[in-house]
Amino acid sequence: MSIYQTPTLAAFKLPVIDNEPMKNYGPGSDERKKLEQALTEMMAQDPLEVPIVINGEKIYSGSTNQQFNPSDNKKAVCTYHEADAVLTQKAIDGCLKAKVKWEALPFNDRAAVFLKAADLLSSPKYRYKMMAATMIGQGKNIWQAEIDAAAELCDFWRFNCKYAEEMYSQQPPKNAPGNWNRTEFRALEGFVLGISPFNFTAIGGNIPSAPALLGNVVLWKPSPSAVLSNYLVYELLEEAGLPNGVIQFVPGDAETVCNVALASPQFSSLHFTGSTHVFRMLWKKIGENICNYKSYPRIVGETGGKNFHLLHPSLDEAGVRHAALQTIRAAFEFQGQKCSACSRCYVPSSQLAEFKKQILAEHAKITQGPVQEFQHFSGPVINKMAFDKIKGFLNSAVSDPDSEIIAGGKYDDSVGYFIQPTIILTKNKRSKTMVEEIFGPVVTIFVYDDADLEPICTEISDATEYGLTGAFFARDRDSIVTCSNLLRNAAGNCYINDKCTGAVVGQQPFGGGRASGTNDKAGSWSLLVRFMSTRTIKENFVPIEDFHYPSNLM
């Protein structure tokens, strides 16, 4: 027997899986001291040189680009090498070669890599370094980095193993006499192209890891604005024992990398998080190449959103205050750069005065500054392109006779890309900021008549092309049921008396339909199913003695 052919000597059970405990980082705490040290060290060092990694080999192509600190936009955090078409093809060839051994490994050996990765990330060795890279490179404050780069990534790695174990255990419930029926969950034939965004380090880690856990191999193209943290994720996976070539780390020009990958007959799946526009372009290109592929590719994507909060007329004063506080969090955490961020809010006319009073009072408490100044709730947006786009929305609101900026509205990119959290009040339910995705710290309020709940729910559902997240705030059960039914298709993640952001792996699987994506629900079993190809096996134990059936007899 080959040493690579592992015998099945037991049915292993995973350790108990639970959500990663989150740390608070209060003044004087041990975790704050360790994070401060990691931030100080990272900010003092020269920009890290990040290579392409193909088959475990670090490649310095000489064609470089830089990722900058959005809080200090003239300071680079890393210089990264970019893959050209030749290197991209080399990465594809290498991962296909690695796939032979990787997919043949028993599940427990593959799972061990990601369980170890989660434990490494949870430890001081990686947690604070990963958070520091996310804060400095992507503009997150402590809490946003903790729930993303530490807790959520640990959760993805652990819960994916749990869900995979449960799926592998699903077998046909019946066997005819003399037969044994079985089901195999194979990896896809070919390779997966993983394209990850800047806004969540955890998504950067999950994009290649989820398919790889199931025996797939992945060509991973990280976002240019998250290369530093994503490279640390790759290094951590290497330390956890991921074999060379299973995940190829390929930063580079998006068009170059994608053109090579999507032209390959071995392309089997796209795992994507990013803009709706780019996702549609990639889908179209896949369609144009469909006759070239060995298999029909699995397309898995989570894209944009125009997420809402709705206040029901039944709310009392405490309920209105709660909705205002949750809107501050949903609209302005991480500067509105979450796919799930609230950017439109519908308030009944009877509650406008109280809601406006509460949200303006809370908005006045928001301070903004660089991420290393821990007191700030708000930081920078990611880059110049984002800054200019959001600025354009604010200027449009200023010139719109139906809209009024009632808080914020200022911006400054002289040091960092800072845009004040902004609240707009509009008389036009289809104004630009009510229907277009902004991806920045801007929320627009529209006031509706108390008697028009059903029409406003229809408006919420129909006003945009998206269907990602939404929340409504209501007091009594009848009102909750009514809103839930009217808004059934408006969002893939629906929140009742809570903000429309903050999905937790193992608790609220995340994703939406319509223009927001394929709704395959990251953080659940349903995402993993997309990277499996099922084989049904029927084994007969008893030979037949005749080809006739009893019905043929006379």
C-alpha span between 64 and 61 (Å, rounded):
8
Please state, in angstroms and as integers, the Cα–Cα distance from residue 204 to each residue in 271, 294, 345, 377, following that order.
11, 27, 30, 24
Catalytic residue among 154, 161, 258, 339: 339
Give catalytic status of residue 146 as yes or no: no
Give catalytic status of residue 494 as yes or no: no
Q: Is 311 exposed, middle or buried (0-12, 13-18, 19+ CB in 10 A)?
A: buried
251: Cβ contacts below 8 Å, ≥ 6 apart = 50, 52, 65, 80, 81, 82, 83, 221, 222, 224, 227
Q: Is 244 exposed, middle or buried (0-12, 13-18, 19+ CB in 10 A)?
A: middle
Helix H or strand E encompassing 285: helix 276-288
Catalytic residue among 20, 82, 302, 437: 302
Please identify which residue in the block is written with the tokens 């309920």: 319
Sheet arrangement for strand 307-311: 403-407, 422-426, 442-448, 342-348, 307-311, 469-473, 493-496
Q: If we measure between CA atoms, which residue out of 185, 190, 230 comes closest to residue 208?
A: 230
Please state, in angstroms and as integers, the Cα–Cα distance from residue 177 to each residue in 180, 182, 537, 545, following that order.
8, 14, 15, 15
DSSP string computed for 494-544: EEESS-S----TTTS-B--EETTB----BTSHHHHHTTEEEEEEEEE-S--
C-alpha span between 411 and 417 (Å, rounded):
8
What's phi and psi for 298, nearest 5 deg? -85, 125
| Residues counted in the chain | 554
Please state, in angstroms and as integers, the Cα–Cα distance from residue 397 to each residue in 403, 412, 430, 509, following that order.
6, 17, 12, 35
409: Cβ contacts below 8 Å, ≥ 6 apart = 394, 397, 398, 420, 422
Residues acting as catalytic residues: 302, 339
